Amino acid sequence: MTPTVYFIGAGPGDPELLTLKGHRVIGEADIIIYAGSLVNPEVIAHRKPEARVYNSAGMNLQEITDLMIEASEKGLMLARVHTGDPSIYGSIREQIEVIEPQGVTYEVIPGVSSFVASAAALGKEFTVPEISQTVICTRFEGRTPVPDLEQIELLASHQTSMAIFLSVQMMGSLCERLMTHYPANTPVAVVEKATWPEQRIVRGTLADIAGKIEEAGIRKTAMILVGRFLGEEYNYSKLYDATFTHEYRKGIQE
């Protein structure tokens, strides 16, 4: 069945990072609900003139899902536009749990997450041979708790690449707890509003980044990246090693 509700990842900010499919659906939608406190308005600028637009920043769950059910009943297309990728801190499941029993058909259209947009802004790769082959995406405990086994100290014990969402306002406490396992000189980068025109990058270490963030006045909409992948260490992969043989290429014998 053709979906009536589309959960769309708007990407981190730059409207050109919206997928072609997401762009098409927004342009065809009769109703648009977008996260106005986070999504760049340019992402929905190409909408139909007659499209009804709602800013979810001032709405509760019932108000949002009532619109989705209404759209389904009237045969209208609704675009629910989330920042980044809707599968990461997008709160889409609670919406789906309400509309699915009502027979509302839906589809999720992925988007570019801020954690990969931040790495791109830094020109860094999360997975560097012999340095880090794992990326942990998480958030620091605040008003919403995290499971016991996902406490930041336990995650830090792996000393791998880490992308920390929704936590810049607690930078001092976060760094203290990360340093229970990471060395104090571990590189850190904070990217505020990645890919927006006003994007800012602050670099430092776990020992000094909190002070730098305080001085910069960064309070929200920022991604925290932690790990040796941000440093100067580097090992080349085997993929393009001239002496490495694989299915598509025979290596040169030294």
Per-residue pLDDT of 196-227, as tens digits, reads 999 999 999 999 999 999 999 999 999 999 99
Q: Give me the domain span that covers residue 183.
A: 114-230
Residues 43 and 85 in one domain: yes
87 falls within a domain: yes
- Enter the pTM of the model: 0.91
CATH for 19 = 3.40.1010.10
Residues 104 and 129 in one domain: no
Per-residue pLDDT of 143-196, as tens digits, reads 788 899 999 999 999 999 999 999 999 999 999 999 999 999 999 999 999 999
217 falls within a domain: yes
Cα(131)–Cα(20) distance, rounded to whole angstroms? 35
* Identity of residue 126: F
Residues 99 and 119 in one domain: no
Q: What angle do CA 212, 217, 220 make, to 5 degrees?
A: 105
Per-residue pLDDT of 37-83, as tens digits, reads 899 999 999 999 999 999 999 999 999 999 999 999 999 999 999 99
Residues 37 and 91 in one domain: yes
Best CA proximity match to 194, nearest among 87, 122, 140, 135: 122
Residues 104 and 23 in one domain: yes
* Identity of residue 141: E
Looking at the structure of the chain, the number of domains it has is 2
Residue 141's pLDDT band (boundaries 50, 70, 90)? confident
